[in-house]
Structures are given as structure tokens and as C-alpha cells.
């Protein structure tokens, strides 16, 4: 592949204002070509691009096309920066009026040097707020697609679409379905802006000459106009790749615009490595319908702020995953100490979750055409979610890790929408770590709060995800939770039900349909605040579960907790895969006595504090007095 840097524009507006600058700050830049102006980090703008593409592993040659007016400046720059002077291309223009236009400059470079290879084209006078993105990712993604490649980014709020080339991109294939050069307001809802950063197949090069023969007006010979013609009219396959960073083409901008964007990007660079990123995800309880989420059923689940997983990411020289001192032990007091810890906590801590999430995140971004900057980090985690009691502790760590990675790499919800994010978290656990799991936990940890979920086969096959609705959380009753002090592995409780379901066993099929019906009834009860009805439905959910999983599968620990709850007239069900029970007791006095009974049986008891993302500070105060 060959790279061509285009710096042939005539910066008349900027140069005029530099000459007349009376602040004394910019007068020394008079006559300096725009690509050689100071960029982010103090380096010249062109220096950044030359350092980025100066790699023989990717490019056999790098050319730079400029105009006659500024040629000597670039010749001097080339000798000072080990750029081959013989690879400078002079387009012969000396003024804005006799300019060739970007497409003609590109075509001149290709024709005059007899280039017959794939070409990467970059405007050498673009400010970029990311000094570390990996251009090799761009080349790899381009080579994976059967067409040309256009780089784009998501515009900031202050940027207007009528000053950019806007692309509309198919989220599945990444093919650009429409290219609009500086569209009028309201013509498109897309906020994805193309920049002069492209990869062209060698078979595309003849189209440059064809485009020029059809567009004799210099003002039409821009790269944006070319792509508009090539994609919209010629219907040629062009794909898009997102860089999670911002770009500003200096072009015909004034001094104030140049200074504004330089200061903006410089400030972002100063801020980015300093502040650690900390994200939290909460445990959840399944209130209704579980475990039908793995069987095309319906569920309702709730985030609880009693228990959480927190991940912190800090930029570092190398990529480091720090083990948790309690959950990832490597030293033990004795063989007996190792035995007791392993028996109670199992063998698998949270470190594998961090590693699997990072691996899956890298894979996802590569597949989705999102280039990540070359920047390393250190990840550490903490959690107070009880292990092996079915409260979604593993997925909480994965979810919090994903939040950190998205913030660090500037990946937005447009890149990874919430329904897809839930699927991503599930895939980390099922595909990478072979953990038996359903979608419910991941959905509620992504959406947060009280969430109704429909996983019907029709929805899952049509969209790849279900229908997820956040429900109101006003005036919720005091749900309680009890869990075993010495639990077994909660994943074992699923037994052979999945295989029976796959085999089409009528009893299991009907049970999953009944779970869905109970969930719809529970949704109505919550909306009407009929807590007596909700309590009855929770009991029905448990009995239905016992009918298909059997008491032998539930195990003595879960059955003991169920028995205690019912002694005090409380509804009860399993909030997850086992090791804990959740219930609704509408008699406060009975709640107090029930708490004592659970504690005497060696269980941990608490009243749940619902986590409401719309007002977390106030919601997190609910029910605290009952836990004291």
C-alpha cells in the first residue's frame, strides 16, 4: 500500500488574519503553511501524520503533494524530518484561483509517479485530538472489506453538519449507504462526519480521471464531491470505519477557529491521562419470570444498591490487570487455609472476567470498524457481591469493565447500543468463559432500575435481542433478601432443564410459557401497586420452578430458606440460579422476626435498597433503617 499526504491547499483566510494579528501571539507564523503550524502537543500538524504513516511494514512509499507557492517550505521540512524529497509532488499552483482541487492533486500524484497500488489518502493539515491511535487497525479493517474505505468520527455538539461530509453507515455491513457533502440542516440525522482519510483500491483509481472529466469547475473537485458521486451515483461499495476521536481540517478557516480547536484538543490531551475512570455496576434480583430468560420467556428484575462491583481504569505504560487481594488469592496461610477458601469461594476469581472482557472488546471494535488508539491501562476491581448465590456478581464485573473501556476509548452508545451491550456481556461469559447464563442479568445491569424483559423467539430471531422496558420505581414495597453463609456453586442448579427444553419436552415448554404469563401479571400488579397480588405471583413463580427443576436440584440450603420465609407468611422465590431467596413481607413485625430466624439459621439477611438510575442518591436511602 502507498500513502499520499495532501497539503496543496492555499490558506488565504488564515494567512491574511495572521498578517493582521495585533495580539503579538501569532505574528511569527505568518507565511507558514497550515500543515506546518503547531498542532496538539506542540508538534507541527504534519509531523504527527508523518510519524503515524512512517512505517515500512504498512506502506512501501509515502508521497506528499503540495503547491508551488509553499513547495520550498515542505522541501525544507522534508530534509529536516527524513522525508524523501524525491517523493514531494508539486502541483504548480500559486494562488487560490489557479488551484487544481484535491481530487486533481491526488490524480496528479498517481499519474506522475505511475502508481498502481492501493492507496491511503490523508489530509496532512488535519488537527487530531488522539495522538496514539493505531493506523495498522485501519489497514487491517480495509483489507477485510471488498471495497474502498472512508474514515469518519462522531461530531461534537458544537460542530455543524453543513461544514462536513456526512456519512450514513449500515450498522451490520459497515457499508456507507449515503454520502452527503456539507448537507443543509435537517437533510440527514447522521452525526458521522467523514474526514480526508481514505483507502482506495487500485481498481478505483481510474474513476478519479472519470470524475474530473465530468467536473470542470474547480469548486466541485473536492474529495467530498467525489465520494458523493462515487457512492450515491455510481453505487460503488465503500465502507466506513470509525475513529473514536475528533478531527479538524484547517483548510479555509480563520485564526480564531484554528486557535479554538487547537486549545480544545490540547486541553483534552492534558486531561485524558490524569484522571482514573471508575465505573460501578449493581447486583440484581429476579423478581418474576426467571429462569425463563434463557428459554424465550419473560422476566422482571431489579438493580439493588446493597451490592455492587466497581472497576477502575488508569492509563499506564503497559497493560496491567491487578488481581483482587481476596477474590484472586495467590498466597495462603496453610494448606488448610487454601482448602477452606477454595471450598467456600471456588477457584475462579474476577481476574479472568477482566481479561475476557478486554479480549472481547478488542475483537468487537475490530469487527465493527472502530479503530482504537495505542494506549495502555491498568485495571483493578472491587466487589461486595456475595459469591455463588446467584446475584449476577460475574456479569457485574464484566459490565463495569466494559463501561470503563468505553469511556477510555470514547466508545459511545451509538457504537454499542444498550441491547447489543447486554448481548456483549453475555457473550463474554458464555463464549469466552463457558459460564452458564441468560440475558436477564446483563440487561438489567445495562438498563438499571426495574426492568421488564421479553425474550420471545420472534423478537430474538428478528432483532437479536428482546424488548426491554424500564418501569417506574415509586413507592416500591420493602423486598428482602437472604443468602447462604456457605453456598455451593449456584450454576449447578440449572440441571438438565435446558436439554429437556431443546428436546421440546411439553412440560418444560409449557412451564416457560407460564413464567411469561406470570411476568405479565406481575407487571400489571407493579403498575397498579397491588403488592398482595405481586406477593402471590412470586410464590407461584417459585412453585412452578420447583415443579420442573425438582427439590433435589434446588438443594437443602435453598429449601431451608424457603421454609423459613413461609413460616412468617412471606412470599419467597429464588432471585437467581440458587444460593439466595428474595421475598415480599407486608407485615413489618413479621419481617423483624423472620430476619432473626434467618440469622439463627446461619444465613445473611437484608432489606433490599432498589437502585433507581433516575435518582440514585435519594433511592439509595430507602429502607436503610430496616437493615440496621
d(CA 356, CA 434): 11
Neighbours of 517 (CB within 10 A): 15
**pLDDT for residue 91 is more than 90:** yes
**pLDDT for residue 27 is more than 70:** no
What DSSP state is assigned to residue 94? -
The separation between the first and the last C-alpha atoms of the chain, rounded to the nearest angstrom, is: 68
Return the bridge partners of 2, or none: 61, 119
pLDDT digit string, tens, across residues 300-321: 999 999 999 999 999 999 999 9
Cβ atoms of 332 and 338 closer than 8 Å: yes
Residue position matching grid coordinates 493505531: 134
DSSP reduced 3-state for 592: helix
Q: Return the pLDDT at 456.
A: 95
Q: Residue 12 — very low, low, confident or very high, per pLDDT cuts 50/70/90?
A: low
Lowest mean pLDDT among 43-52, 61-70, 511-520: 43-52
What percent of the chain lies above the pLDDT cut of 70? 88
Domain architecture of the chain: domains with CATH: 2-269 (3.90.550.10), 278-607 (3.30.230.120)
Return the bridge partners of 121, or none: 4, 198
106-124 average pLDDT score: 95
Cβ atoms of 126 and 248 closer than 8 Å: yes
Lowest mean pLDDT among 117-126, 304-313, 457-466, 491-500: 491-500
Q: Which strand (E) or helix (H) includes residue 377? A: strand 376-383
Q: Residue 32 — very low, low, confident or very high, per pLDDT cuts 50/70/90?
A: confident
Q: Residue 240 — very low, low, confident or very high, per pLDDT cuts 50/70/90?
A: very high
Q: Residue 18 — very low, low, confident or very high, per pLDDT cuts 50/70/90?
A: low
Active site residue 441: yes
60-79 average pLDDT score: 95
Task: Give Rg (Cα) of the chain.
Answer: 30
Q: Return the pLDDT at 490.
A: 42
d(CA 151, CA 198): 6
Most confident option among 123-127, 135-139, 400-404: 400-404
All residues at 6 or more sequence positions from 354 whose CB lies less than 8 Å from its CB, including other chains: 311, 321, 379, 381, 397, 401
Task: Tell me the angle at which helices 351-368 and 418-427 cross, rounded to the nearest 10 degrees.
Answer: 130
What DSSP state is assigned to residue 491? G
d(CA 612, CA 618): 9
d(CA 440, CA 525): 20
**pLDDT for residue 547 is more than 70:** yes
Spatial CA neighbour of 464 closest among 494, 501, 421, 412: 421
pLDDT digit string, tens, across residues 135-184: 898 999 999 999 999 999 888 887 888 888 999 999 889 999 999 999 99
**In 317-352, at which residue ranges do the beta strands (DSSP E only) sit?**
320-321
Write down the catalytic residue from 105, 129, 293, 441.
441
Q: Return the pLDDT at 171.
A: 87
All residues at 6 or more sequence positions from 97 whose CB lies less than 8 Å from its CB, including other chains: none
Q: Return the pLDDT at 626.
A: 46
d(CA 590, CA 607): 13
DSSP reduced 3-state for 222: coil
Q: Residue 618 — very low, low, confident or very high, per pLDDT cuts 50/70/90?
A: very low
Spatial CA neighbour of 347 closest among 327, 331, 325: 327
What DSSP state is assigned to residue 575? S
DSSP reduced 3-state for 25: coil
Q: Residue 333 — very low, low, confident or very high, per pLDDT cuts 50/70/90?
A: very high
- Of residues 30 and 175, the one with the higher pLDDT is 175
d(CA 202, CA 211): 16
Residue position matching grid coordinates 442479568: 441
Q: Residue 292 — very low, low, confident or very high, per pLDDT cuts 50/70/90?
A: very high
Q: Return the pLDDT at 577.
A: 86
- Cα dihedral 529, 521, 297, 513 in deg (nearest 10): 160
Spatial CA neighbour of 600 closest among 554, 572, 571, 564: 564
Q: Return the pLDDT at 10.
A: 78
Between the alpha carbon of residue 31 and those of residues 17, 18, 70, 233, the distances in Å are 11, 8, 9, 40
Return the bridge partners of 280, or none: 310
Q: Return the pLDDT at 548.
A: 93
What DSSP state is assigned to residue 568? T
Between the alpha carbon of residue 5 and those of residues 93, 197, 466, 574, the distances in Å are 17, 9, 47, 62
What DSSP state is assigned to residue 603? E
**pLDDT for residue 359 is more than 80:** yes
Report the mean per-residue pLDDT for the chain: 88
Cβ atoms of 151 and 139 closer than 8 Å: no
Return the bridge partners of 284, or none: 303
Q: Residue 253 — very low, low, confident or very high, per pLDDT cuts 50/70/90?
A: low
d(CA 90, CA 95): 13
d(CA 86, CA 80): 14
Amino acid at each position: 500500500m502507498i500513502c499520499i499526504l495532501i497539503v496543496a491547499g492555499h490558506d488565504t483566510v488564515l494567512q491574511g488574519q495572521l498578517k493582521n494579528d495585533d495580539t503579538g501571539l501569532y505574528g511569527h507564523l505568518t507565511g507558514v503553511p497550515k500543515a506546518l503550524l503547531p498542532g496538539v502537543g506542540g508538534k507541527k500538524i504534519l509531523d504527527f501524520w508523518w510519524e503515524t504513516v512512517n512505517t515500512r511494514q504498512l506502506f512501501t512509499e509515502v508521497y506528499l503533494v503540495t503547491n508551488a507557492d509553499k513547495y520550498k517550505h515542505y522541501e525544507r521540512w522534508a530534509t529536516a524530518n527524513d522525508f524523501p524529497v524525491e517523493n514531494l509532488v508539486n502541483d504548480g499552483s500559486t494562488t487560490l484561483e489557479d488551484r487544481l482541487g484535491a481530487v486533481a492533486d491526488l490524480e496528479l500524484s498517481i499519474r506522475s509517479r505511475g502508481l498502481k497500488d492501493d492507496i491511503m489518502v490523508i489530509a496532512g493539515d488535519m488537527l487530531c485530538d488522539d495522538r496514539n491511535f493505531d493506523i495498522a487497525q485501519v489497514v487491517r479493517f480495509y483489507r477485510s472489506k471488498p471495497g474502498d474505505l472512508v474514515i469518519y468520527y462522531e461530531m461534537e455538539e458544537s460542530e455543524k453538519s453543513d461544514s462536513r461530509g456526512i456519512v450514513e453507515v449500515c450498522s451490520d455491513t459497515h457499508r456507507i449507504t449515503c454520502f452527503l457533502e456539507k448537507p443543509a440542516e435537517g437533510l440527514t440525522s447522521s452525526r458521522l462526519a467523514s474526514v480526508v482519510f481514505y483507502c482506495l483500491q487500485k481498481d478505483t483509481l481510474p474513476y478519479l480521471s472519470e470524475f474530473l472529466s465530468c467536473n470542470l469547475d474547480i469548486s466541485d473537485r473536492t474529495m467530498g464531491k467525489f465520494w458523493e458521486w462515487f457512492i450515491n451515483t455510481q453505487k460503488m461499495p465503500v465502507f466506513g470505519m470509525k475513529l473514536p476521536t475528533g478531527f479538524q481540517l484547517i483548510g479555509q478557516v480563520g485564526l480564531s477557529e484554528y486557535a479554538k480547536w487547537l486549545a480544545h484538543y490540547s486541553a483534552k490531551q492534558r486531561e485524558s491521562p490524569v484522571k482514573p475512570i471508575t465505573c460501578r455496576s449493581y447486583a440484581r434480583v429476579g423478581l418474576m419470570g426467571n429462569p425463563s430468560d434463557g428459554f424465550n420467556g419473560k422476566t422482571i428484575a431489579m438493580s439493588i444498591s446493597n451490592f455492587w462491583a466497581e472497576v477502575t481504569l488508569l492509563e499506564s505504560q503497559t497493560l496491567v490487570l491487578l488481581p483482587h487481594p481476596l477474590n484472586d488469592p495467590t498466597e495462603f496461610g496453610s494448606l488448610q487455609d487454601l482448602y477452606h477458601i477454595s471450598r467456600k469461594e471456588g477457584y475462579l476469581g474476577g481476574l479472568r472476567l477482566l481479561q475476557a472482557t478486554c479480549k472481547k472488546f478488542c475483537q468487537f471494535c475490530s469487527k465493527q470498524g472502530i479503530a482504537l488508539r495505542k494506549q495502555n491501562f491498568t485495571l483493578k476491581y472491587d466487589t461486595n457481591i456475595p459469591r455463588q448465590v446467584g446475584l449476577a456478581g460475574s456479569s457485574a464485573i464484566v459490565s463495569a469493565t466494559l463501561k470503563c473501556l468505553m469511556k477510555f476509548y470514547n466508545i459511545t452508545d451509538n457504537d454499542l447500543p444498550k441491547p447489543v451491550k447486554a448481548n456483549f456481556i453475555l457473550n463474554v461469559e458464555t463464549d469466552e468463559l463457558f459460564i452458564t447464563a441468560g440475558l436477564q442479568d446483563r440487561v438489567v445491569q445495562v438498563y438499571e432500575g426495574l426492568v421488564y424483559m421479553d425474550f420471545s423467539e420472534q423478537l430474538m430471531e428478528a432483532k437479536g435481542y428482546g424488548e426491554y422496558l424500564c418501569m417506574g420505581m415509586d413507592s416500591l414495597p420493602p423486598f428482602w433478601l437472604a443468602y447462604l453463609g456457605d453456598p455451593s456453586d449456584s450454576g449447578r442448579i440449572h440441571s438438565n432443564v435446558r436439554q429437556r427444553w431443546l428436546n421440546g419436552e411439553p412440560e418444560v415448554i409449557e412451564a416457560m410459557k407460564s413464567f411469561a404469563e406470570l411476568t405479565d401479571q406481575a407487571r400489571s400488579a407493579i403498575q397498579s401497586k397491588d403488592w398482595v397480588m405481586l406477593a402471590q405471583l412470586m410464590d407461584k413463580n417459585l412453585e412452578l420452578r420447583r415443579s420442573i427443576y425438582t427439590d433435589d436440584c434446588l438443594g437443602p440450603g435453598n429449601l431451608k430458606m424457603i421454609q423459613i420465609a413461609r413460616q412468617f407468611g412471606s412470599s419467597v422465590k429464588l432471585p437467581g440460579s440458587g444460593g439466595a431467596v428474595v421475598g415480599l413481607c407486608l407485615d413489618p413485625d413479621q419481617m423483624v422476626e423472620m430476619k432473626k430466624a434467618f440469622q439463627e439459621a446461619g444465613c445473611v439477611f437484608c432489606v433490599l435498597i432498589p437502585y433507581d438510575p433516575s435518582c440514585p442518591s435519594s433511592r439509595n436511602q430507602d429502607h436503610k433503617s430496616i437493615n440496621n
